[in-house]
Amino acid sequence: MIDAEGKQLGVISLAEALAEAGRVNLDLVEVAPAANPPVCKIMDYGKFRYQQSKKLALAKKSQSTIQVKEMRIRPKTEAHDLEVKIKHIRKFLEQGDKVKITMMFRGREIAYTENGRRIMESVKESLAEISQVDQYPKLEGRNMVMILSPKK
């Protein structure tokens, strides 16, 4: 057993431990139930729970969430439209989000996947200074997918 100041009181019976905790008006909390014998500590359990919740809230507040934004393009997307989409991708990357670029093939376009791969490579090269490739262009059914993330 450990008292409120952190001093070890040694191995004592449950009744003695509860009496000691009652004497100082605090709670008896089991901190290591797997130990042999189990370790108990005298503390203010309400205060302990409050401090734990504050630590969790602070940890949650300081963590950043990374979203995955998706940009869809087609093999027949014109050059100017592609530049507009690249500007949007650049904005997402600067905000710290990952970007999933999906090239969609419809009908007979699937026979010309090399054109799509070439467009994906040009997008990757135009964003090379601010991004790194997490997943290189990969054909998944009728879609080719590439994932970019911001450089550290």
Domains and CATH numbers, the chain: 14-62 (3.10.20.80), 68-150 (3.30.110.10)
pLDDT on residue 125: 94
Judged against a pLDDT cut of 90, whether residue 35 lies above it is answered with: no
Q: For residue range 64-82, list pLDDT tens digits in order.
A: 778 899 999 999 999 999 9
Beta strands in the chain, from DSSP E residues, in sequence order: 27-32, 39-43, 68-73, 98-104, 131-140, 143-150
Q: For residue range 5-24, list pLDDT tens digits in order.
A: 888 888 888 899 899 899 88
> Please, which pLDDT band fits residue 134 given cuts at 50, 70 and 90?
very high
Rounded Cα gap, residues 18 and 29, in angstroms: 10
Mean pLDDT of 134-146: 94
Rounded Cα gap, residues 1 and 43, in angstroms: 11
Closest CA to 130 of 96, 85, 80: 96
- The amino acid sitting at 4 is A
Task: For residue 23, report the phi and psi dihedrals to the nearest 5 degrees.
Answer: -65, -40
> Please, which pLDDT band fits residue 3 given cuts at 50, 70 and 90?
confident
> Please, which pLDDT band fits residue 123 given cuts at 50, 70 and 90?
very high
Report the predicted TM-score, pTM, of the whole model to 2 decimal places. 0.60
Task: For residue 87, report the phi and psi dihedrals to the nearest 5 degrees.
Answer: -60, -40
Buried b (16+ CB within 10 A) or exposed e, 80-112: eebeebbeebbebbeeebbbebbbebeeebeee
pLDDT on residue 148: 95
